[in-house]
A and B are shown apart, each in its own frame.
Chain A
Amino acid sequence: MSLLAISIPYWGQSLLRVLGVLLVVLLPAGTLVYLFLFKMMSFMQSRLGPMEAGPYGSLQLFAEVGKFIQKEDISPRGADLRIFRMAPYVVVLTVFLIYVAVPFGPDAVFADFEVGVFYVLAVSSISVLGILMAGWASANKYSLMGGLRAAGQLIAYELPMVLAVVGVVIQAETMNMQGIVAAQSEGAIFGIDIIGSPYVITQFLGFMIFMIAIQAELTQTPFDMPIAESELVAGYMTEYSGFRFLLFFIGEFAAAGAFAAVAATLFLGGWALPGAWFDQTEDFMNVVGPLVLLGKLVLLAGIIFWIRFTYPRFREDQLQRFAWKFLIPLALANIMVTAVFKVAF
């Protein structure tokens, strides 16, 4: 590690990495929960949100965590206990796996895969398994319906998500996440390179499709049929209480942060500022980069939650029709246009 001129033994490095991943996952989750769920939703509803725990309610999340931890561990009779207990961990595991491949600075990345994009997209679908496990093992008809709806929806929206990213890969000529970041900050749009080449401008259609697809992957309104609070009580999460519910809850927001981080890396330039401003491989970017990424992540997650608090939800068949008959042809068209432009210019 060239940042600090001390040598840390291997076990120390591993410990630092583990703590780093925990911090990386929980910090955006906590920020998103406070900023958007507690405050933005409340302001949009003409109220102030939690104000008692800490100044302006900033410690509310800690209070909630404490409350959930001390609750009784209830499992329904007739539930498949081993699968019932494993399900939340599977969902949370997915989030950790996604963050492993997201770069935070020129050297700050946990694992710099050659096929980082492919890995992230593949690993993000493990949460479907967790949701199905929760839905089936709860021995509750509402949970079962929620789980089945989730399976259909999440698999349907995987495709637009993947296809939207193909355009980015074509334009960046690499699947490596660091390479995509570098391509955006060093690139130029038709010769103008003041702000680099963030793919949100050149791949705007892909960006929109990707944002809609991750809204569905996160089961946020308008795609929250699996949870559907007014019909299914809490969908696949109905029978969970206490610490297990906390895992689902934090997992939901950590996943929102993870997907927003991936979207920020692929479309907004990730941790890097435009290369025309200064050289991005400087050492201090290892400290500034994560903050830049956090800012872009918060912006994108803000859009996700803004849409969540405003719209009603789609019905399951309308949702599927939207994905298969509208988004996928659009994404394919986007790929064709990108390929043509890549060859021509």
Chain B
Amino acid sequence: MPKVPGVIKGLGVTLGTMARTVTQGANTVQYPREKEAPPTRARGVIALREENCTVCMLCARSCPDWCIYIEGHKEKAPPRRPGGKPRTVSALDRFDIDYALCMYCGICVEVCPFDALFWSPEYEYSEPRIADLLHDKDKLGEWMETVPEAPDLEVGADKKGKK
């Protein structure tokens, strides 16, 4: 049986793909009518849980772009039990993340010792003005609703240890 010349086989490949697209649909997604859901761990936007934050500034220091702006002040709080020492707690005044600078590297989320920052796969927050890409404390708190549960780990993973 003589070998089918490569030029003919190539024609067959394109014709086959055309037939597949017509019968089974294309591989593309007609955004914005249909949307593909990104994986659970996708780094879309960073959310802030304000009650956990102690204004330790670790995230702002470890950001390679210096895109996190934090301001806080110390407050007096009542002692934990009556007759104890009065405590000072840090209160968060300003926590802004500038998404125009953010590299989406995740160092801030990883480094936070108090689990105040989380990743969320939300990605549709583009703005017509660059200044609107500075998300303040409240907006970051709103993103908390979109944070998914951490996915289960694969078989063989060491469940104790890292989160």
Chain A in direct contact with chain B (Cβ < 8 angstroms)? yes
Decide if B89 is an interface residue (CB 8 Å cutoff): no
Contacts of B150 in A (CB 8 A): none
CB-based contact B10/A48 at 8 Å: no
The one of B14, B20, B27, B28 in contact with A306, judged by C-beta atoms closer than 8 angstroms, is B14
CB-based contact B26/A311 at 8 Å: no
Q: Mark B9-51, 1 if CB is under 8 A from A, else 0.
A: 0110111011011100011101000000000000000000000
CA distance A162 to B20 in the complex (A): 39
In the complex, what residue of chain A is closest to B16 when comparing beta carbons? A44
The one of A40, A51, A311 in contact with B18, judged by C-beta atoms closer than 8 angstroms, is A40
Contacts of A310 in B (CB 8 A): 10-11, 13-14
CB-based contact A45/B17 at 8 Å: yes
Main secondary structure of the interface of A (DSSP, over half): helix
The one of B14, B15, B22, B30 in contact with A51, judged by C-beta atoms closer than 8 angstroms, is B30
CB-based contact B22/A48 at 8 Å: no
Decide yes or no: A306 and B21 within 8 Å by CB, A46-B26, A47-B26, A48-B26 being known contacts.
no
In the complex, what residue of chain A is closest to B13 when comparing beta carbons? A310
CB-based contact A46/B17 at 8 Å: yes
Decide if A43 is an interface residue (CB 8 Å cutoff): yes
Most buried by B among A42, A43, A47, A51: A43
CA distance A48 to B7 in the complex (A): 25
Rounded to whole Å, the gap between the CB of A300 and the closest CB of chain B is 15
The one of B17, B28, B30 in contact with A44, judged by C-beta atoms closer than 8 angstroms, is B17
Q: Mark A289-313, 1 if CB is under 8 A from B, else 0.
A: 0000000000000000011011100
CB-based contact B27/A46 at 8 Å: yes
CB-based contact A44/B11 at 8 Å: no
Contacts of B30 in A (CB 8 A): 48, 51
**Count the B residues whose beta carbon is within 8 Å of the partner chain — how many?**
15
Q: Mark A31-56, 1 if CB is under 8 A from B, else 0.
A: 00000000010111111100100000
Rounded to whole Å, the gap between the CB of A274 and the closest CB of chain B is 28
Contacts of B7 in A (CB 8 A): 311
Contacts of A48 in B (CB 8 A): 21, 26, 28, 30
Contacts of A46 in B (CB 8 A): 17, 20-21, 26-28
CA distance A47 to B27 in the complex (A): 6
Rounded to whole Å, the gap between the CB of A12 and the closest CB of chain B is 45
Rounded to whole Å, the gap between the CB of A210 and the closest CB of chain B is 18
CA distance A47 to B28 in the complex (A): 6
Rounded to whole Å, the gap between the CB of B27 and the closest CB of chain A is 4
Contacts of B10 in A (CB 8 A): 310-311
Decide yes or no: A307 and B28 within 8 Å by CB, A43-B17, A43-B22, A46-B21 being known contacts.
no
CB-based contact A307/B21 at 8 Å: no
CA distance A40 to B27 in the complex (A): 15
Rounded to whole Å, the gap between the CB of A9 and the closest CB of chain B is 50
Rounded to whole Å, the gap between the CB of A51 and the closest CB of chain B is 7
Binding site for B on A (CB under 8 A): 40, 42-48, 51, 306-307, 309-311
7 A–B contacts from the bound complex (CB under 8 Å): A42-B21, A42-B26, A43-B18, A44-B21, A46-B17, A46-B21, A310-B13
